[in-house]
Structure 1
Amino acid sequence: MRRGCKIVSFLPCQAISYQVGDALEILPSQNPSAVNAFIERCNLDPDSYITIRAKGGDEVSNGSLLNGSMGRIKLSTFVALTMDVASGSPRRYFFEIMSHFATAEHEKERLQYFASPEGRDDLYQYNQKESRTVLEVLEDFPSVHMPFEWLVQLTPPLKKRAFSISSSPLVHPNQIHLTVSIVSWLTPFKRTRQGLCSTWLAGLSPNEENLIPCWVHKGSLPPPKPSIPLLLIGPGTGCAPFRAFVEERAAQSARESTAPILFFFGCRNEDNDFLYKDFWLKHAQDKGVLSLKEGGGFFVAFSRDQPQKVYVQHKIKEQSARVWNMLCSGAAIYVAGSSTKMPADVTAALEEVVRQKGGEAASGWLRKLERAGKFNIETWS
């Protein structure tokens, strides 16, 4: 898997209110050529209109993203905004229903096999492992012509993507900054796949006005009070919300007394992946909120810059005295990043520090912090 990173700034069309720790949900745009190809493949009329009604039978309100004249919307617009035709993989039931509409016998047999218990592994290899899209599946079975009513029900819905906000409203009023990881990968059959939302955002021109459907969403990292010391652990794009935390604490420190921040960041290589390098180093100098002089600190683990891999949990153990002092001074712990092994490894490292330095029952200590709202984890896959 290949990853790049892009810093995206939004200037909302209207005043927007958010706090550090919040997330921005974005509804991505699909490639118009893919939407058109889906409509053509399914023999649909792109200029026809359909009426959208809520589950209770009422028409969609004028404030809805899908609103139109009396709830009417062009079919092409409906497909583009609601049906994930070019990135989402269909479920097994999609293949079962397709088999009923296949007119070519060999296609019907293959679809029935995919939908059977015996064909489950082969379906997984064909569909999920290859990240096969609805459009690609339909193109592989050209004799299948499903009614639009079935396509609406079975096509995966186009979902909003959530990104941690990387800016402080105190520093950037009426702006929102995001740290977007741009993902691409090769399937087992060497087909290139790309993340829908991140690739779309990366392709937007900063010199053009772009209208992006988005909503501020309350995150799982509550904004801390200026008087509370912070222990932040955010490898990779996990640093995104903590850029906002550090920005806000720095702005607060200019007008009132604030507690220090101890931040552990991690990435593969210093030369390629050191996100916001100048920003962190600036706040780690002199009397910055990350400076050792002010009781804080900034420590980085470069996992691939030496023969032996080094991760944030190793740096936490190396700086166990500082970590313990922060905990004893009432620090709140915030962890953000990948949902794989990192949260468990970081928690284990913190427990080891508590056991070694405090002789305490480590898991009980951290559970107390969690119950008090001072041990917060936000992860994503």
Structure 2
Amino acid sequence: MDKEKKPLKDVSYAVFGCGHKDWVQTFHRIPKLVDTTLEQLGAERLAEPGLTDASTGEVFTNFETWEDDVLWPALTSKYKTTSSADDSKTKGVDVTISNPRTSALRQDVREATVVKTATLTKGGDPRSIKKHIEIKLPEGMAYTAGDYLAVLPINPKESVHRAMRQFHLARDAHLSISTDGPTSLPTDTSVPAHDLLSSYVELSQPVTKRNLVTLAEYAKDEETKALLNRLAGDAYAEEVSTKRVSVLDILERHPTVDLPIGVFLSMLPPMRVRQYSISSSPMAHASNVTLTFSVLNEPSLSGQGPYIGVASSYLDSLAEGDSLHVAIRPSHAAFSLPSDTEHTPLICVAAGTGLAPFRGFIQERAAMLAAGRTLAPALLFFGCRSPDHDDLYRDELDEWEARGAVSVRRAFSREPDGSEGCKHVQDRMWRDRGELVELWKQGAKAYVCGSRGVAESAKETIIKIKVEMEKAKGEQPETAETETDSEKVKEWFESLRNIRYVTDVFD
């Protein structure tokens, strides 16, 4: 496109971008590129770009802040109109209750079928249950090892019952919604209240600052108004966002807030898909995928009942033959098996369900070996609690190890005597660093999948090993302040990201 001709000179725009700080080299690169490209093509920037970091968990709040403080003032100045952010009270949508039953689903997903489910853990804490589910994909839906499966869930029944109770809705109540504004809710049709609350809105989403201001407007007493306005201010991060306090939590905690159900529904984000790393390879079964997941059910940080994972509880509720709605989402381009599998060794690091993509990798390597291919070595460092509780896929991994598809090094946090004294996966990496270094010298590619803590520990261990190597060569002074303070080594590590060192971090 010829930028000199300014083909977008009659276009106005504003950009709000979301990124994740763990992807250092590409953090906010795309929204910034979109902004500068549109400007170069002649478009008029209406407002300064807004940027947010998905790792903070405050994407919606940050967007609302940018919308109120930057976007709306720019729009009102440009078009001489009244900002919707200036409305004294959020009106929400108009709702009437009726009885006929209809319901609909609208998302960029297709229907799949559950083939099999299994519990991978044995005994122990019921809050640490790990599950396996096999799903038959719809015709024409393909994937590669390392990809994600996006699942459109429904809210936990406990959350739905709380909402029904809060608004005094009978089990067979229907809602008919009408609005002049945009909405993701079904409009001008009668929908069972239970279906709408189950399938269309995020009941567990943390309340935003804007929500809190609106809730304060509907409070009947000044004390509650003041409290909610305080929560919308400096107290938000510590008392709301960190504790994942929802709109429903606020309503139950403060019964003097007389919120209409229409306003409640307008506050809630639409139900979104959740992404899970696929734990299988299409070389094993091209039309089926498997997922490996933890069932999240633990005391809530808000102090109001259990915190139940929306997607994990939904997957846990499914049985053979059940339908669900899914889509394939590609992983980061770097988080895939190397094209030269014959000459590129693998180093995989995982804890718990972070094993998922590596099961797919190893399953694919086993299929390659069965087809007569020669492969470079693969080393898997895996951390879990104990061999009798959550040593996931032990029989499969033993079989694949016997075939030469992988060598597994485990770390049992509760029984370290069973893993060479290593409690955590980084301990095992350090103990077996000689083999790790040897594979690295052969051109290995390293992958890490797990929590932020696992990723940070793996990074620190890699840096520690590199420092030891440099000292052995006489290139690192023995008097360095600490082993991980070497800027040279840190620069070396950053140069590896998304090339020879790739992470997939989940919170």
Q: Distance in 1 between matches of 2:360 and 2:209?
A: 42
TM-superposed deviation, 1:93: 3.1
Letter in 2 for 1:366: F
Q: Distance in 2 between matches of 1:250 and 1:37?
A: 48
Q: Distance in 1 between matches of 2:325 and 2:300?
A: 30
Q: For the structure 1 residues 376 and 271, does the alpha-carbon distance in structure 2 shift closer, same or farther, using more than 3 Å as the test?
A: same
SS state at 1:323 partner = helix
Higher RCO (C-alpha under 8 Å, 6+ residues apart) = 1
Q: For the structure 1 residues 37 and 305, does the alpha-carbon distance in structure 2 shift closer, same or farther, using more than 3 Å as the test?
A: closer
TM value normalised by structure 2: 0.62
Q: For the structure 1 residues 33 and 375, does the alpha-carbon distance in structure 2 shift closer, same or farther, using more than 3 Å as the test?
A: closer
**Could you say which residue in structure 2 is the equivalent of 1:316?**
429
**Could you say which residue in structure 2 is the equivalent of 1:293?**
none
Query: How does 1:216-255 map onto structure 2 within 5 Å?
Result: 216-220=328-332, 221-225=335-339, 226-227=341-342, 228-255=344-371
**Equivalences, count:** 354
Q: Are residues 1:164 and 2:292 paired?
A: no
Letter in 2 for 1:367: E
Which range moves more in the overlay, 1-10 or 268-277?
1-10
CA contact 2:215–2:228 (8 Å) conserved in 1: no
**Could you say which residue in structure 2 is the equivalent of 1:63?**
none
**Could you say which residue in structure 1 is the equivalent of 2:451?**
338
CA contact 2:449–2:504 (8 Å) conserved in 1: yes
SS state at 1:214 partner = strand
Q: Are residues 1:356 and 2:473 paired?
A: no
Q: Distance in 2 between matches of 1:136 and 1:117?
A: 13
2:494 paired residue among 367, 371, 378: 367
**Unaligned stretches of 5+ residues in structure 1:** 61-65, 291-296
Q: Distance in 2 between matches of 1:51 and 1:18?
A: 39
Letter in 2 for 1:23: Y
State the Cα deviation string for residues 19-59 of structure 1 (Å, max 9, x = none). 1111111121124574466356447862425479869xxxx
**Could you say which residue in structure 1 is the equivalent of 2:228?**
114
Q: Distance in 2 between matches of 1:237 and 1:49?
A: 41
Q: Are residues 1:275 and 2:384 paired?
A: no
Q: Distance in 2 between matches of 1:48 and 1:139?
A: 24
CA contact 1:96–1:112 (8 Å) conserved in 2: no
TM-superposed deviation, 1:132: 4.5
**Could you say which residue in structure 1 is the equivalent of 2:24?**
none
Q: For the structure 1 residues 132 and 20, does the alpha-carbon distance in structure 2 shift closer, same or farther, using more than 3 Å as the test?
A: same
Which range moves more in the overlay, 40-49 or 321-330?
40-49
Letter in 1 for 2:272: K
Q: Are residues 1:377 and 2:503 paired?
A: yes
Letter in 2 for 1:303: S
State the Cα deviation string for residues 111-157 of structure 1 (Å, max 9, x = none). 332322698659955x5676544334334444544345532342244
2:250 paired residue among 137, 145, 167: 137
State the Cα deviation string for residues 164-201 of structure 1 (Å, max 9, x = none). 10000110221110001112222475833221211221
SS state at 1:48 partner = strand
CA contact 2:131–2:293 (8 Å) conserved in 1: yes
Identity of aligned residues (%): 24
TM value normalised by structure 1: 0.81
1:21 paired residue among 146, 159, 184: 146
Q: For the structure 1 residues 53 and 240, does the alpha-carbon distance in structure 2 shift closer, same or farther, using more than 3 Å as the test?
A: farther
Query: How does 1:77-92 map onto structure 2 within 5 Å?
Result: 77-85=195-203, 87-92=204-209
CA contact 2:154–2:311 (8 Å) conserved in 1: yes
Considering only aligned residues, what root-mean-square deviation do their CA atoms show, in Å? Answer: 3.3
Q: Are residues 1:194 and 2:337 paired?
A: no
1:96 paired residue among 213, 218, 235: 213
Q: For the structure 1 residues 369 and 117, does the alpha-carbon distance in structure 2 shift closer, same or farther, using more than 3 Å as the test?
A: closer
Q: Rg larger in 1 or in 2?
A: 2
Q: Distance in 1 between matches of 2:364 and 2:162?
A: 47
State the Cα deviation string for residues 191-222 of structure 1 (Å, max 9, x = none). 3322121122112222xx32222221111313
Q: For the structure 1 residues 173 and 144, does the alpha-carbon distance in structure 2 shift closer, same or farther, using more than 3 Å as the test?
A: same
Query: How does 1:38-49 map onto structure 2 within 5 Å?
Result: 38=163, 41-42=166-167, 46-49=174-177
SS state at 2:129 partner = strand
CA contact 2:292–2:353 (8 Å) conserved in 1: yes
Letter in 1 for 2:496: L
2:380 paired residue among 253, 263, 266: 263
